Chain A
């Protein structure tokens, strides 16, 4: 999974049915020090995360599907948590 920052949303009316009724969040993955890690990704929201939240993203399809409760659907990433705190013990 990845930690990311929700930087926006993507609206799409013409889309697969399994993507309906879920916010499609535009998430920028972060490194542990908060710096940007690669390009932003799109993940369906399963925990009512909003723009600006630091979130946990499952980047594999099966976990994403079960997170949004829609098996056998073309979803490969989902926001599965809102991060309150990250503690790293070196």
Chain B
């Protein structure tokens, strides 16, 4: 999964019928410091995410398993709204090994 932030949405009236009723959102990937990095991707929403919210999404064939067994043509689905990202700057546990 990848961390990102919802920055917009996409409206398509002419689309695959299975996509009806599903929000299509524009997601900007975030880097470790929470800053936008990389190219935005378009994904289906499955948790009610809105613009400005930090989320993470699932990619590939598994993205359609949210609606299993319905076959949904998506390779990017937002699967969670993130409350908090705890990043520990440095430090490893190699010394314990």
- Chain A residues in the interface with B (C-beta under 8 A): 5, 7-16, 19, 24, 26, 28, 39-44, 50-54, 60-62, 64-65, 72-77, 84-85
Report how many residues on chain B are interfacial, defined by Cβ distance under 8 Å: 40
* Docked CA distance A39–B4 (Å): 12
8 Å CB contact of A75 from B47, B58, B82: B58
Question: Nearest residue in B to A13 (C-beta to C-beta)?
Answer: B83
A41-B1, A42-B2 given; A10·B85 CB < 8 A: yes
Q: Nearest Cβ in chain B — how far from A53, in angstroms?
A: 5
A61 touches B1 (CB 8 A): no
Q: Which residues of B contact A50 (CB under 8 A)?
A: 93
Interface residues of B in 31-67 (CB under 8 A from A): 31-32, 37-38, 46-48, 56, 58-66
* Docked CA distance A8–B65 (Å): 26
A8-B85, A8-B87, A74-B66 given; A14·B80 CB < 8 A: yes
B80 touches A16 (CB 8 A): yes
B88 within 8 A of A: yes
Closest 6 CB pairs of A and B: A15-B80, A61-B62, A8-B87, A42-B1, A12-B80, A14-B81
B92 within 8 A of A: yes
Q: Which residues of B contact A61 (CB under 8 A)?
A: 58, 60-62, 65
